[in-house]
Structure 1
Amino acid sequence: MAAAVRALPSQLKALTRLRCEIFQTAYNPRNLRTGAKYLRARLRGPSMAEYYPKTVNLSQIAREYPELGIVDEQEAQRMADVEDRKRRGKGTPKKAKKKADSRRAAKKR
């Protein structure tokens, strides 16, 4: 009969530390939460992006291939509406180039 060999707790800790160094794993003697499980996990983004089909709209095609002469009716109507609003003075305000040009600065005076 072979005698059972008992290791001391300090020897077990040393063995565990050495095992972690050899196999390049995290040494965590106090079993703290480290998040290593989630950091090792495979990223989900690429497979999700691959799952959903790529959407192609008319405006993208028109921008990429201007020689085709494709006109996006909705975009043309939107631009016409913007021009009309600008003519009536209802367009977006101009951006201030300097701090003194802003409406806030004019209000404080």
Structure 2
Amino acid sequence: MAAVAPSRIAALTRLRCELFQTSYNPTSVRTGAKYLRARLRGPSMVQYYPQQLTVAGFNRMGGGFKIQDWDEHQRLADVEEKKRRGKGAPKKAKSPAESRRMSKRR
């Protein structure tokens, strides 16, 4: 029995890839095709973890009911206290002339 030439086997493999619409990779280079073909995990994870109702989300739903968000109230009080002590965020420049960078260039 005669052995088949490697060029014939390569041609057969190339033709098989064309027919079945697969990628021809004779050098076995890593292509990541396994991960690209895999099912996406995102939709399953979204279904697994339920939506959490927050105070802000409840207040946005409407219906006339409002719940006091104590964490947000405390945060705003802390920000106000920092501003009174001079430790708050600097005010934003309304124009390029008011910015710190422009004042340094003088």
TM-score bracket for the superposition, by shorter chain length: 0.7 to 0.9
Partner amino acid, structure 2, of 1:15: L
**Offset at 1:34?**
0.9
Does the 8 Å contact 1:62/1:72 carry over to 2?
no
**Offset at 1:6?**
4.5
2 CA distance for matches of 1:83 and 1:66? 31
Match of 1:102 in 2: 99
2 CA distance for matches of 1:31 and 1:59? 54
**Offset at 1:19?**
0.8
Structure 1: state its 5+ residue gaps: none
2 CA distance for matches of 1:89 and 1:101? 23
Structure 2: state its 5+ residue gaps: none
Match of 1:14 in 2: 11
Match of 1:68 in 2: 65
Instruction: Mark the CA change 1:67 to 1:30 in structure 2 (over 3 Å): closer, same or farther.
Output: same
Does 2:59 align with 1:43? no
**TM-score scaled by structure 1?**
0.75
Aligned-residue CA RMSD (Å) = 2.4
Identity of aligned residues (%): 56
2 CA distance for matches of 1:63 and 1:97? 31
Instruction: Mark the CA change 1:5 to 1:51 in structure 2 (over 3 Å): closer, same or farther.
Output: farther
Q: How many residues align?
A: 105
